[in-house]
Amino acid sequence: MKVKRATHREAEVSINQFGPHRFGVLAALVFSQVVFWVSLGRSTEAPPAPATPKKPVTDTYQGVLVAEDYRWLEDYKNPEVRNWSEAQNQLTRAFLDKLPGREQIQKRLKGIYGAQSASYFGLQYRRGTLFALKFQPPKEQPFLVTLASADDPASEQVVVNPNTLNPKGTTAIDFYSPSLDGKLVAVSLSEGGSEDGTVHVYEVSSGKELSDIIPRVNYPTAGGDVAWNPDGSGFYYTRYPQGSERSKEDINFYQQVWFHKLGTPAGEDVYVIGKEFPRIAEIQLETTDDGGYLLVTVSNGDGGEYAHYLLDPSGKWTEITRFADWITRASLGPDGALSMLSLKDSPRGKILRLPLENPVLEKASVFIAEDAELVIEHFVPTANRLYVIDQVGGPSEIRVFDHEGKLLSPVELAPVSSVGQVLRMGGDEVLISSSTYLTPTAWYQFNPPTAVARRTALFETSPADFSDCEVVREFATSKDGAKVPVNIIRLKGTKLNGKNPTLLTGYGGYGISLRPNFSNARRVWLEQGGVWVIANLRGGGEYGEAWHKAGNLTKKQNVFDDFAACAQYLIKAGYTNPAKLVIEGGSNGGLLMGAALTQHPDLFAAVVSHVGVYDMLRVELDPNGAFNVTEFGTVKDPEQFKALYAYSPYHHVKDKTAYPAVFLLTGENDGRVNPANSRKMAARLQAATGSKHPILLWTSRSGHGIGSSLSEKISRSADVFAFMFDQLGVPYLDRKTHLQSTEVELK
């Protein structure tokens, strides 16, 4: 599902980051007698699956009878379902733990993560103080710190540390919001990956917690947010229904904005706005630097429709845009204007500007016109500049304009790189985070007078060396002729002999672009001679809203056709063959895995799918599923039902089909995708498969992946890599032992 608000990374649980791999300059020595191998003969016999009773149920959709046998697995409160799930875990654990190499892989991952530097992300700036979330392995969770500047890490002070609040590592920061003077900070904390966040307030200078505790501010369905008032005496916040305000079915819907005054009970908080918002509203809050104006952005579920409301200093509300206006972003600048990204008649985006004193959309002027080549993804207004972050099919670019709309010198970035965040500091200075597939994230300071992006002290280093690797961008031709980018990470000198172990991943949804990203764990795959491929599929935003719309609702099948075309391209180009090709995805990318598996079971050797959606006819009945109707469609609409039923993975598993090896992972606390999807899909595949390849299901005690502890991520990554290597028949090379053995031989 779409990530709503997550100021922290999904790390290796995210689709694009899961496990880069590596082979390195040792390739020539792979078959040397001095190489230490952990033999991984491919498992050909699937372990016996737990008995899964069939309890047929039939529904009627648009006059079509649809039967299924595993509806009963949806009820996780049923002891029979829990026992079945635990039996599946035992089966999976027994299979994975016996794989030669699994312990060595986990040890390798621990070594990589243990030696990596600290990373800083989710930065915010308040009157001379820099706030950041810091991730410092081997600590389990990111924690909140302040810095005097990006060039002075020694000035760091810890404000809130979930690792000390809960040594088990299961408490996570959902988001944080400092007061405008930087003296206080509101922090949403949740447990066990649930994203069910309660806001706590802390004094920044001492880290002391105040008495103010606000429940039900954040949840997976609509996310959550906080914005402070001018004098720091209170804050606006997103609030879900409490007590008996709504029925049980609506308890995680109807998000509204309320106001909390510090030092008063949460029960005395005051309603601000939201009663007229839709059931599936998702709200974000922003104020001007002085707190005089409050901007409320409301999205209509996850399909890309937004409305904007402005509260001025006099207390007057103005509805500036409606869903039909296709204003997808808006931001309050320090220059007294509201900047907006419009997709109306401009699928690649144009930027409008509107004075705050007269916020009438019809009076907005076009500030940056649509570009025929670039897609506007985001923008950041400063005192005298506008920084525009563009998408170019996956990689990012940054243009800089003055307030007359004149294009200035651009920000120079590395080739095939991404922009993670642009943070406005004082004046026109900004901090920019950027990374590539081969280099870790670094924060750069950019000041227009110098027109130079200078790397600050906040840069990451990695023990994983990618200097022997390269990235190439190639294009596959989809079923209807669309050209689909494929980003290929490979060792220099990789031979296109059709024999390389290759991992293909993708997403294709919500207008989300898969940008270049760095992952330490990717080295584990590459050092075994693997090729790592990320596909920029339709449904994403890499080429604008037209690219997104070509892969959602009734056109979702284009996403699956694009992915299959990428797999076929890799085979035809000589990178790999079906016996050496594994695919992996998560969430909406898990749906992609299910569709690829059921539509092309002979195209892959193995499929790994995290927290996926597989039953497209019942997904809208789940709380978060309802938010996705604007992206996926609904069975209540005849044409949308037809499209959903045509590709719904669960309904297209066919008996006696020789399915490849499948590894489904889910979390029992997942509030974004109902874990029942994975249970039902596993049961159906286990009953139907005509091959002897394993069909495995693992249910963790975590959630969708956001907020998972470091040790949980490492353990799951080790499981996935061991499974992949086993199914592709790739022996795992213990590099450390190999180097020691090589040194002895050379002596």
For residues 606 and 528, is the Cβ–Cβ distance under 8 A? no
Confidence bin at 352 (pLDDT 50/70/90): very high
| Share above pLDDT 70 across residues of the chain, in percent, rounded to a whole number | 92
pLDDT at 6 over 50: no
Confidence bin at 1 (pLDDT 50/70/90): low
Question: Residue 742's pLDDT is what?
Answer: 29
Q: Active-site residue 587, yes or no?
A: yes
More confident: 562 or 447: 562
- Burial of 687 (C-beta count, 10 Å sphere; 0-12/13-18/19+): middle
**End-to-end alpha carbon distance in the chain:** 55
More confident: 205 or 50: 205
Q: Active-site residue 704, yes or no?
A: yes
Confidence bin at 424 (pLDDT 50/70/90): very high
Confidence bin at 16 (pLDDT 50/70/90): very low
Pairwise CA distance, residues 183 & 175, whole Å: 17
Q: What is the pLDDT of residues 664-709, one digit of tens each?
A: 999 999 999 999 999 999 999 999 999 999 999 999 999 998 889 9
* Angle ∠(588,593,595) on CA atoms, nearest 5: 95
Helix, strand, coil in percent for the chain, rounding step 5: 25, 35, 45
The stretch 602-629 carries a mean pLDDT of 96
pLDDT at 99 over 60: yes
Confidence bin at 39 (pLDDT 50/70/90): very low
Question: Residue 733's pLDDT is what?
Answer: 84
Which of 1-15, 263-277, 723-737 shows the highest mean pLDDT?
A: 263-277
Question: Residue 34's pLDDT is what?
Answer: 24
pLDDT at 42 over 90: no
DSSP letters, 145-189, are EEES-TT-GGG-EEEE-HHHH-TTS-EEEEEEEE-TTSSEEEEEE
Average pLDDT, the chain: 91
The residues, any chain, with a CB within 8 Å of residue 730's CB and separated by 6 or more, are 40, 501, 528, 529, 530, 724
Pairwise CA distance, residues 163 & 115, whole Å: 19
For residues 592 and 604, is the Cβ–Cβ distance under 8 A? no
Q: Please pick, among 85, 396, 435, 587, the residue that the annotation labels catalytic.
A: 587
Confidence bin at 46 (pLDDT 50/70/90): low
pLDDT at 20 over 80: no
pLDDT at 32 over 60: no
Q: Please pick, among 548, 651, 693, 704, the residue that the annotation labels catalytic.
A: 704
The stretch 280-284 carries a mean pLDDT of 98
What are residue 308's DSSP bridge partners? 297, 321
- Burial of 63 (C-beta count, 10 Å sphere; 0-12/13-18/19+): exposed
Question: Residue 13's pLDDT is what?
Answer: 29
Fill in the DSSP letter of residue 51. P
pLDDT at 38 over 50: no
Pairwise CA distance, residues 212 & 205, whole Å: 17
The stretch 577-590 carries a mean pLDDT of 97
The residue written with tokens 């009963």 in the block is 72
Token pair for 18: 């899961």
515-538 burial, b at 16+ Cβ within 10 Å, e below that, comes to: bbbbbbbbbbbbbbbbbbbbbbbb
pLDDT at 485 over 70: yes
For residues 178 and 194, is the Cβ–Cβ distance under 8 A? no
pLDDT at 22 over 80: no
What's domain 11-42+53-111+464-737's superfamily in CATH?
Answer: Alpha/Beta hydrolase fold, catalytic domain (3.40.50.1820)
The stretch 291-319 carries a mean pLDDT of 97
Pairwise CA distance, residues 168 & 230, whole Å: 37
Q: What is the pLDDT of residues 154-206, one digit of tens each?
A: 999 999 999 999 999 999 999 999 999 999 999 999 999 999 999 999 999 99
- Count other C-beta atoms under 10 Å from residue 393's C-beta: 18
Q: Which amino acid makes up residue 439? A: T
Out of 3-12, 284-293, 414-423, pick the least confident: 3-12
Fill in the DSSP letter of residue 111. H
Question: Residue 735's pLDDT is what?
Answer: 56
